[in-house]
Structure 1
Amino acid sequence: MDRLSLIGIAFGLIAIVGGQVLEGGQISSLLQATAFLIVLGGTAGAVMLQSSSAAAIEGVKMLRWVVAPPKVELEPWVKTLVTWSNTARRGGLLALETPLESEKDPFVKRALQMLVDGTEPEAIRHNMELEIDSYEEKLRAAARIWESAGGYAPTIGILGAVMGLIHVMENLTDPAKLGSGIAVAFVATIYGVGSANLFFLPIGNKLKHVIGTEVRRRELITEGLVAIAHGENPRIIEGKLRGFMV
């Protein structure tokens, strides 16, 4: 559980609502269903229009990473790769069949299988880097839907404001209807700018950070297994891999 993300969301909302209260405003004045529908509905429609269905679905699924990101630790992998290096140094690459059988990570399992099969080191690197690139592009395309939402929301908020002002102009002779139109106009702008800068853009950046961490883990594993294939000294391999942890 990423508590900092939850604290950040809560802190941002409390600051805005608290500022409204300190200025003597009512919290209820920030709650406007029409503005919410215009901004969130319009933003969702724009994002769906520009994205593939696969990217949109994956982006929604990745939303859980904001508060519960996958746990990625590099230190254990450095130790594991050094252990595998020592094993291969003593018993040859075929000695790695034992960890291969127990490995659960599909990415690592494929790389280990190539290593045990005696695949050339550069072929291992090439194949695994292609897989890393494909993985990264897929997830970054999904994360970009949140950045796109952050770009569209303020503009849709302005659209909602204009619609509210149109409503005002149409009812200048009926003062009772002016308040609702003005409320939609200003609250729609708040929803557009607020959702973009408090939620959509930070979510996109958070997901990119999580993706980058996982990509670094895969690059570390690839570098370690290629070094084992080259028959490098375990101490040299460990020093090389610790460069990924800077």
Structure 2
Amino acid sequence: MDPATLAGIGLAFGAVLLSIILEGSSPMSVILPAPMLLVIGGTLGAGLASGTLRDSIRAFKTLGGWITFKQPDLDGTVDVVVGLADRARREGLLSLEDAARSVENPFLQAGLQAAIDGTDPDDLRDMLEDRIASKRAADKTSAKYFTAMGGYAPTIGIIGTVVSLVHVLENLAEPAQLGELIAAAFVATLWGLLSANLVWLPLGSRITRASELECAHMEMAVEGLLAIQSGANPRLVGQRLRSLMPPDAVKKDSAKKDTAKKEAA
């Protein structure tokens, strides 16, 4: 699990609470049910209205997976593909029938099984790339949902403040209460800004980034599967796939191993 999102949101809210305390106020002064209900409920309603019901359900259904997202083990996938390529070159593609069942990555497993079944290389590439495109589009919709709510929340907060100020104007005959009422009125704006910039927009960005990492992993797997199907040299397969990885994701031992094998050949 990559803790960046939970740690970041926790740090941001912690900083806000600490600043309130340092100002000599109480955190409870901004935790008011009415403005919080208006901002959160209004934002969720606006988000629901901006798309389809299926979009909203999918966005929240998959949210837990995005928050607990774990970065793909690119180097581990390369090792698996190189091992499969080595076996396929020595024993033939059909020898991977049993090995395919032990592959943990569902995308890699499905593509490998299709290759073993004799799918044409061009058709295999098209099929796998279509699957990646479909996932990318679905993830984009989820990210857009939370990003849209990040745009609605501040404005809904202002609406809450206006509603509260109307109530303030109704009580001008009681000057002793005006200070407290005006302060409470701005709490809605505060929660609109907080929820947008500390929750909804970061979640949208998190989904976008995690989707990019997953799709890049899948694209690398496609190249590996096609190399296995063509009977490519396992050493070259390893070097080719690692060239597609970010430099900081390549383990030094793996890179040295590929180089040593190439020089030995």
Aligned to 1:139: 139
The answer on whether the counterparts of 1:65 and 1:207 sit within 8 Å (CA) in structure 2 is no
Aligned to 2:151: 151
Aligned to 1:94: 94
The answer on whether the counterparts of 2:39 and 2:153 sit within 8 Å (CA) in structure 1 is yes
Letter in 2 for 1:94: L
Q: Structure 2 length normalisation: TM-score?
A: 0.86
The answer on whether the counterparts of 2:2 and 2:70 sit within 8 Å (CA) in structure 1 is no
Aligned to 2:170: 170
1:123-150 deviation line (CA, Å, top 9, x unaligned): 1111100011101211221222211111
Aligned to 1:30: 30
Aligned to 1:40: 40
The answer on whether the counterparts of 2:2 and 2:71 sit within 8 Å (CA) in structure 1 is no
Aligned to 1:226: 226
Q: 1:10 to 1:227 in 2, by over 3 A?
A: same
CA–CA separation in structure 2 for the residues paired with 1:96 and 1:38: 58
Aligned to 2:204: 204
Letter in 2 for 1:152: Y
The answer on whether the counterparts of 1:121 and 1:226 sit within 8 Å (CA) in structure 2 is yes
Unmatched tracts of structure 2, length 5 or more: 247-265
Distance apart, 1:119 and its partner CA: 1.8
Aligned to 2:193: 193
Matched residue SS, 1:245: coil
The answer on whether the counterparts of 1:160 and 1:189 sit within 8 Å (CA) in structure 2 is yes
Q: 1:106 to 1:46 in 2, by over 3 A?
A: same
CA–CA separation in structure 2 for the residues paired with 1:112 and 1:60: 32
Alignment of 1:9-28 (within 5 A): 9-28=9-28
Q: Structure 1 length normalisation: TM-score?
A: 0.92
1:137-176 deviation line (CA, Å, top 9, x unaligned): 1122122221111111011011111111111122222336
CA–CA separation in structure 2 for the residues paired with 1:11 and 1:115: 47
Aligned to 2:107: 107
Fraction of identical pairs, as percent:
39
Letter in 2 for 1:175: P
Distance apart, 1:8 and its partner CA: 2.0
Q: 1:114 to 1:2 in 2, by over 3 A?
A: closer
Tell me how large the CA RMSD over aligned residues is: 1.9
Letter in 1 for 2:115: L
The answer on whether the counterparts of 1:62 and 1:207 sit within 8 Å (CA) in structure 2 is no
Distance apart, 1:186 and its partner CA: 0.6
Letter in 2 for 1:124: L
Letter in 2 for 1:194: L
The answer on whether the counterparts of 2:5 and 2:202 sit within 8 Å (CA) in structure 1 is no
The answer on whether the counterparts of 2:161 and 2:189 sit within 8 Å (CA) in structure 1 is yes
Matched residue SS, 2:119: coil
Letter in 2 for 1:96: L
Q: 1:123 to 1:53 in 2, by over 3 A?
A: same
Q: 1:3 to 1:38 in 2, by over 3 A?
A: same
The answer on whether the counterparts of 1:85 and 1:234 sit within 8 Å (CA) in structure 2 is yes
Aligned to 1:117: 117
Aligned to 2:239: 239
CA–CA separation in structure 2 for the residues paired with 1:74 and 1:187: 46
Distance apart, 1:243 and its partner CA: 2.1
Letter in 2 for 1:217: H
The answer on whether the counterparts of 2:142 and 2:204 sit within 8 Å (CA) in structure 1 is no
Distance apart, 1:71 and its partner CA: 4.9
Letter in 1 for 2:136: E
Q: 1:181 to 1:66 in 2, by over 3 A?
A: farther
Unmatched tracts of structure 1, length 5 or more: none
Name which of structure 1's ranges 99-108 and 39-48 shifts more when overlaid on structure 2: 99-108
Distance apart, 1:104 and its partner CA: 4.8
Aligned to 1:2: 2
CA–CA separation in structure 2 for the residues paired with 1:41 and 1:244: 44
